[in-house]
Chains A and B, each alone.
Chain A
């Protein structure tokens, strides 16, 4: 193995890890606060990507404004879903909210097939050019995307750790009853968390769509990756989502390059099994009742 190959694999692993982490972080936030497993997380991610595609590539409006617009639109979309669909099921059996989120998968992806058609599209790059590090190539686009993913993850951490709203979210996540007794409006926190988690998915979709391609069926794969990471890192844990993202990103990068893509696929699941054997709640997860 050459230094160039090692550096290339590492840089690919870092970029992938951060994007995976960003996809997973929204899912873990939603579960952490609302105790809902949002299976349609990938479909939300897909919608975010398409909003940016139509804004930037079709309407020819500025890229970063579109990124923000996509996040805002999906924030309110997610909040709306919580208010209309999930709130009435709060306190009931988890099975009901599972059924709703499963139904959302089919509704959103089928609507996507009708409106966007099953034809691959690409969000054009916002920057071109690259640098070489020890013979390995790293594009400015990947650097910016990795950087933004990191900033967003850190911003979420800051929000949760250093702001009142974040404190309220953590309180609701830990003990909703006591949080309510302390004067925290649980219902308000729920729709904010859902909106925020959805917005993070949308932003991940925008970044991924710029790096790769977009398709109405792209959400399914994103959901699988997000669940793998969240299970690895621990349901409801933001640091867990980041660490899980890196683990999966490095597995994908190194094993695909050095062995085969099937090996990377299998090994990813083996790692999850091993983690769950020794720590059933995931690396940073809490024991939920």
Chain B
């Protein structure tokens, strides 16, 4: 009896082993090891830029799932699935360096997406020498951009490019606007954004009355806005300023009697501004922002996000085209291994039906290489305490851009 039991157990183990062995040969399609292209997320998921970082991460993950669901990326005869691996940079440059090293050395990624200057600066020092292609949102640090950074794509329009889309609208809507003041964070991002606006104001003939910088831990904007309003501007610009700080600036300005428009290119949503400012939110101008989805692509994305992540942050829509552009670049280049070829292909990608309409890369004249994302700018304005889509246009770029 004992021998019989042992024989039976042995046969059972043998059967299990044979079964696993058969599975590992991968005859049914579901058991085949998919070819994978790993894409790294070096994003701030906590800290001051967490709002933007989380939106970026979600946009890539959603896009990757859509692409995978329709069969993946076709390179030659093979289909590749996209795998997103993200780590938190905590809005810190040293942490971004650590994350980048981990992605490249441990996870072996050749493609990284990023958000915000602090993370981008840390990443670039490692990714560019390693010929890792990066697709980022970074509005400053122009000295780390251009033809010397072949693999570095600034896929989000900075406020400089956005300005060429929404300022023509502003001048038509508010013809009395002749002077402006700028308020931004007291860091390199703020300084670089002011530099963008100095050039834009000069281009559009708006008198620059000066700049004030705020600390990120500012709890009350009354003192700073009091100082700004002494200059008697027609227009206040604040960038790059998240929605909550934008709301506080608007509220303080309105309470102190300022009646002109306030533009905030970085806010990207209206809910917080309306909650904080209430009836004082009128004449807030938000480039690259939409509240009500207009096109089917926008509606589908919003619905998918709501199901996948529990809600849809509008800013994620801005960035949603990046992954599709990269996927098309893989197919055009015919490789996911050679980042030089992929970068060349990505520079020439033109997508027609993205969340923000037509999207492509440009900037050959301005930056020496086509690495700047450009797309339709949806400008939302708050009036009568409601956001409405005021204008849609591709940036009216200056000659030689």
Contact = CB atoms under 8 A, between A and B. Distances in A.
Interface of A: 5, 8-9, 12, 15-16, 57, 113, 118-125, 128, 130, 137, 139, 142, 208, 211-213, 215, 217, 221-222, 224-225, 252-258, 260-262, 264-265
Contacts of A265: 215
Contacts of B243: 119-120
B220 A57 contact: no
Contacts of A124: 275, 278
Contacts of A212: 219-220, 244, 248, 276
Per DSSP, chain B at the interface is helix
Contact of B244 (A5, A12, A130, A215): A215
Interface of B: 46-47, 50-51, 54, 186, 212-215, 217-220, 222-224, 226-227, 230, 242-245, 247-248, 255-257, 272, 275-279, 313
Nearest to B228: A257
A5 B244 CA distance: 26
A268 to B, nearest CB: 11
B255 A5 contact: no
A130 B255 contact: yes
B275 A123 contact: yes
A261 B224 contact: yes
Contacts of B278: 124-125, 128
A12 B226 contact: yes
29 contacts: A5-B226, A9-B223, A9-B226, A15-B220, A15-B222, A118-B50, A120-B243, A120-B272, A121-B272, A123-B275, A124-B275, A125-B278, A130-B255, A213-B245, A213-B247, A221-B217, A222-B219, A225-B219, A252-B223, A256-B223, A256-B224, A256-B227, A257-B224, A257-B227, A258-B227, A260-B213, A261-B218, A261-B224, A262-B186
Contacts of B50: 113, 118
A128 B279 contact: yes
A257 B213 contact: no
Contacts of A16: 219-220, 222
Given A9-B223, A119-B313, A137 B256 contact: yes
A120 B51 contact: yes
Given A122-B275, A221-B219, A255-B223, 8 more contacts: A12-B222, A16-B220, A119-B51, A120-B245, A120-B272, A122-B276, A212-B248, A213-B276
A83 to B, nearest CB: 31
B247 to A, nearest CB: 6
Question: Closest 10 interchain pairs by CB?
Answer: A120-B244, A122-B276, A256-B223, A122-B275, A213-B244, A118-B50, A12-B222, A257-B223, A120-B272, A221-B217
B220 A113 contact: no
A114 B43 CA distance: 17
A253 B222 contact: yes
A129 B227 CA distance: 22
B169 to A, nearest CB: 26
